[in-house]
Amino acid sequence: MKKLTFYIFSIIILLFLTSGDLIGQSNIRTITFDILKNQLFGGAELPAEEPIKIVGLLPEEVHRVELILYEKSEKNKPYYIGFYQRPFDMKVDRFEIQLDPLRSGRQYFFTFQYFTKATPEQLRALQLSLNANLEAAIRSNYIYRRNSIIGLQSPNQLLKTLNALIAEGLQEFRHTTGRTFDRFSSLVLAKIRQIESESLSNARFNIAKKSKEESQRVAYAEKLIQELIELVQSEATQFLSDNMLILREERTSVAVTEQLPGSIPINFGYGFVYWEGNFSNLVYDTSPYVGISIPLANKTFARYLGNASLSVDVLLRDLEFSQIKYSGPVINLPIYAGLGYKAFRVARFHIGGTLLSSDANSDGQIQLDAALFGGVSIELNVWAGFDKKRKR
């Protein structure tokens, strides 16, 4: 009978190591944004720790809506960024943006950005602005010194500066295709390195103009820098298109999430304690147990770590190994402590160590021992805030 019990618990431990979370996803709650009142969910607290969907009015001229979500302050790094874009210029009067779950009892800033099609004049002004900024950044980076061109920034730093200028210039513009300008090509970096490695003594071979030596060097340096300017302007222009979108309006709404009551997971299970031996000569005992589990993380935001826990349980009877009875310290019952993992909705698998005590010594003193424990339990959540009810 004991061997059969051991095999059963071997299967349980295998399930503990390989089981997945079978919890299905709940229905997505719909939250309405009233653009006229600049208000979410009618001013009520937002649902916490569950997926939600933001819906709102989509004016006819608006082709894209972006949502930038901040936690606590708009100065923080965005908590979430999402968008909705009108498909194929279809007549749609509402936008929908699905959000990841929000944390309980937090304040959030919802920034909605509305984009319309940019006019040719706006696109032309954008192109001129980008070209001017790129040229100014490049020219201010270089100085002439005898036979060389000195860069005030390293090639990689200058490339980062140029990329940042493009990102800043395009802040209020979007491609209808969703394209983004990642960075300038490797050709630009190669050109920057060529400029700083080129000797101006080569000017007489590259300038088809008879002039004084100093003028030749300046003209040659200007030629190299102008080639870099034209290259970066060309790549920036290639990114632009005639059907880009421009930011038309921005709204920010502040909302808080509901405060969810905490809970204490209570375990009721059955486990076995290994003492010594192998498969052919196994010494162990079994017992029901009860205890609590403390999750290592919030399962909503950390799926696997949220299912794991530190568990402390009390075995409900004394154990016997090799005709010696063992109880436990303090409460006179064996105590288990270790790791737990929740699966199949209400089952939690445990593995760890059991603290035992016995008075088998000849001098009558209590002896403490530890033994390996494994078990499976049914878990129930006992709400810690009975005066708080979750809104539905």
This prediction has a pTM of 0.75
What mean pLDDT comes out for the span 60-89? 90
**pLDDT at position 392, please?**
44
**pLDDT at position 72, please?**
79
> How many other CB atoms are found less than 10 A from the CB of residue 62?
20
Q: What is the pLDDT of residues 121-156, one digit of tens each?
A: 999 999 999 999 999 999 999 988 777 788 899 999
| SS (HEC) of 98-156 | EECCCCCCCEEEEEEEEEEECCHHHHHHHHHHHHHHHHHHHHCCEEEECCEEEECCCHH
37 vs 254: CA distance, rounded Å:
12
Signed CA dihedral, 31, 33, 34, 37: sign only? positive
305 vs 221: CA distance, rounded Å:
60
**pLDDT at position 261, please?**
87
Six-digit token pair at 294?
């403390």
339 vs 328: CA distance, rounded Å:
20
291 DSSP assignment: E
**Closest of 188, 177, 181, 78 to residue 137, by C-alpha:** 188
Six-digit token pair at 2?
């004991």
297 vs 292: CA distance, rounded Å:
15
Statement: residue 6 has pLDDT above 50: no
**pLDDT at position 279, please?**
78
pLDDT confidence bin for 59, thresholds 50/70/90: very high
What mean pLDDT comes out for the span 350-363? 80
**Closest of 300, 291, 290, 295 to residue 310, by C-alpha:** 295
- Say which range, 189-193, 269-273, 308-312, 356-360, has the weakest mean pLDDT: 356-360
Q: What is the pLDDT of residues 309-333, one digit of tens each?
A: 999 999 999 999 988 899 988 888 9
Six-digit token pair at 366?
């209590």
Share the mean pLDDT of the chain.
85
Six-digit token pair at 50?
């569950």
